[in-house]
Structure 1
Amino acid sequence: MPSTDAPETPPDGESFGTRLANGWERAMDDLPLAVVPLVSSLLAADNIRRVRAAEGVNFGITFPFPPALTDLWTFVNVPSGGPGVHVSPGLAFLPVRILVEAVLVAGLLGSVGALLRTGRYDFADAARRYFAPMLGYVALVHLVTLSTVVFTVVSPLLLVFLLPVLLVLKYLFYATAYLVVVADESLGDALARSYRWATAGGPYFSYAAGFLLFAALLSVVTSAVVVNLGVLGVVVGAVATAPVALALTFATTEFVADLDARERGESGGFGGDDGGVGGGGRGGHDRFEPADEFDTATDRFDPTDDDPASDDLTDDLTGDGPDDEPPGDFWDRRKEGEAEGDDRRSSDEWTNADDPRTPDDTEDEGGR
C-alpha cells in the first residue's frame, strides 16, 4: 500500500537543472511532439488578441507552476488591456476550447509517458485513452478560473485576494494530470495524491520552485519579444518555445513518475537510477538480488567445477578414478576386512579371559 507521505528527499538526488537537461535530450529525440505546444500556442485566440491590442513598449514577468500543457503562454505575461475587468469575446467558444485542450493534453502526456515507458508512442491511442480524465481536469481548471473572473466582476477588490489563491491552487494540484498518466489513477485519486505531496513539501516543492524560477527568467525575454513584436512575435515565440515546452513536459513527467515509484517502494520510475519502468530509463544499473548470493555459493561448492581437489573427492566417492576398483568391490572388501578384524579381536579377548596371567608370569613359570 502506498505511503501516505511524500518522500523527504528527491527520488534520485537530481536537481531541476539536471532533469531539464535530460528532458531536452528526450525532446530532441522526439521533436515531432513539439507540434502540440506549437498548436496550443497558436490556438490561444484571446491571448493573441490582447497582444495585438497592446500599446507602447511592454515588459513583464510571470511565475507559473508546471501546467498540464506547457506552451508559449506559460512564459508570457499577457497585457491586461487596461484597468478594470475584461470579459473575453471568445467566452462562448470555451466548451470547444476545453475539448481541444483535453485532446492535446491527453495525447501529449500519454505519448510522453509511453516514450519513457517503452520508447514508442501512439498519439491517437493516448488521446483516446486519457481523454475522459483530462477533459475533467481541463474543465475543472477553466471553471476555477472563470469563477475567479465572476467574483472579480462583482467586487474588483477581491482580485488582490483571489490571485494568490489561484497561485496556491496551481501549486497544490500541478501533478494531477501527470499522475493520471504515470500512475494510471482516476482524476479524483490524482487530485488527492497531488494535494498530499504538495502539503508534505520536499521534492514536490523543490521541483515546483525550480520550474517557477526557470520559467520566470525565460518570461522576461519572451514577454518582451512576443508583446512588443505583435503577431510576428507570437509566431516567432511559439516556434522558439515549442522545444523548450516539450523538454519541460518530459522533465515533469519523469519527475512525477520517479516520485510515484519512490512512494510505492519501487526502485525507480520511468527514468530512475535503475532504468525506470521497463528498463527504458537512462543511467540504469544492476541491482543486487538475494538469488545472486546463493548462486555464488552454489558455484563455490559445486563438485563439478575444475578444482583438482574437488575432482579427487568426487573420484573417491564415485569410484571413477583411473586406478580405483569398481564401487561394489571396494565396499565388499572393506566389509570383509572389518569382519576379519572383529574376529581377531574376539579371539584375543577369549584367550585373555581363559588365561588371566600376564606374559611375565608365563616366562617365570617356564624358568622354574
Structure 2
Amino acid sequence: MSRPSSGPPDTDGGPTEPIAERTLSHLGRLLPLALVPLATALFRARELLATGNADGVSLRASFPVYRYDLWNFVDPPRGGGASVSLPFGSLEPLPLLAPAIGAYVVVSGALSAGYFGSIADGITTGRFDFVAAVRRFGVRLILLEALVVVALAALFLPLIVVPPLFVVAIVAALVVSYLYFPTVYVLALEDRGIRSAAVRARELVDRDRPLGFFLAVAVVTALCSVPVSLLAHAGPAGAVAAAVVAAPLGLAFNVATALKVAEMAGVETVE
C-alpha cells in the first residue's frame, strides 16, 4: 500500500495520460472485481424482476460517491408505501427492518472492503488480493457503512414530518457528497482510519477543487443510463443482461475515481 503524501501532488512526475485512458489500462487487470457490483445488483432480485417487467427509460446521474452497480444507472419501479432498498430485495414489515439493515451493513461493508482495497492495490502495485483486503479493511468499511446509514436516516427521516424540506435535504446531501467523496478511496489508498480519511478527503477537495471531475462523472453516468435502462426494461432476461453490462461499467467509474483521488493525494500508481 502506498504511503500517504501530506503535500500537493508532484505535477512534474505525475501522470500525463487522460484519466479515461488510464482507467482502461487498469480495467482488464481489475475486471474480476466486477463480480461485486454484479452481485449487489442481482441481490435485489425483486426490483430486478419489477424493472424487467416495466416499460420506460431512466436518465439517472450518479456522482462519484461510492460503489456503482446497475442501480446507479437504472431507477427501479416504485410501488406505493414505504420500503427500504437492500442488496437482497425490499423489505417492508417494520420488525424486519432493523436486522435487515444490520445484515446489509455487514455484507455490504465486507464487499466494499475487498472491492476498494483491491482497487487501491491494483492501481498502486498492479496486484490485488480480495480476501486480504477484506481482512485489512473489513472492520473500518463496515463501520463506515453503518455511519452512512445513520447519517442518511438523520438527514431524510425528518422529511416524513416536514416534506417541504426535501429540496434542502437533497442539496445538503449533494454538498456533503462532494466534500467527502474521496473518503473511502483515501482510506484504502493511504490505509487510514475513518476519521483521518474523512479529514484528509476534505483537505484534498478544498485544495484541488475537483468540481469539474465530480460533475463530469454525473454527466457520463447519465449518458450511460439511457442504453442500460433500455436493456433493463426489455424483460427479465434484459434486466439480468443489464446487470451484467453495468458491472464492468460501474467498476470503471470506481477505478477512475480512485485514480483521480490518488492523483490529488500524490499517491503513485502503476501504468
Highest CA radius of gyration, 1 or 2? Answer: 1
- Please give the alpha-carbon distance, in whole angstroms, between the structure 1 residues aligned to 2:242 and 2:161: 35
Match of 1:219 in 2: 225
What amino acid is the match of 2:67? L
Runs of 4+ deviating beyond 6 Å? none
1:164 aligns with 2:193: no
Compared CA separation, residues 40 and 20, structure 1 to 2 (3 A): farther
For residues 168-207 of structure 1, the aligned pairs below 5 Å read 168-200=175-207, 202=209, 204-207=210-213
Q: TM-score, normalised by structure 2?
A: 0.83
Equivalent residue, structure 2, for 1:238: 243
The Cα shift of 1:200 comes to 4.1
Sequence identity percentage: 28
2:6 matches 1:2: yes
Matched, 1:208 2:214: yes
State how far apart, in whole Å, the 1-side matches of 2:213 and 2:14 are.
Answer: 13
Alignment of 1:69-108 (within 5 A): 69-81=67-79, 86-88=82-84, 89-90=90-91, 91-92=97-98, 93-108=100-115
Cα deviation, residue 104, structure 1:
0.9
CA distance in 1, matches of 2:36, 2:147: 21
Q: CA deviation at 1:47?
A: 4.2
Q: Specify which structure has the bigger relative contact order, considering alpha-carbon pairs within 8 angstroms and separated by 6 or more residues.
A: 2
**How far apart, in 1, do the equivalents of 2:242 and 2:220 lie?**
17
C-alpha distance in 2 between matches for 1:10 and 1:116: 20
Q: TM-score, normalised by structure 1?
A: 0.62
Q: CA deviation at 1:2?
A: 2.4
Contact 1:61–1:76 under 8 Å retained in 2: yes
Which residues of structure 1 form unaligned runs of 5+?
262-268, 272-280, 283-368
Give 1:250's aligned residue: 255
1:75-120 per-residue CA deviation (whole Å, 9 max, x = no partner) reads: 12333336xx623352341111111111111101111211222222
In 2, Cα distance between equivalents of 1:207 and 1:46: 34
Deviates more, 1:176-185 or 1:142-151: 142-151
Count of residues paired in the alignment: 256
Q: Is the 8 A contact 2:208 2:264 kept in 1?
A: no
Structure 2 CA distance for aligned equivalents of residues 62 and 100 of structure 1: 26
| Contact 2:69/2:246, CA 8 A, preserved across alignment | yes
Q: 1:150 aligns with which of 130, 144, 157?
A: 157
RMSD of aligned Cα (Å) = 2.7
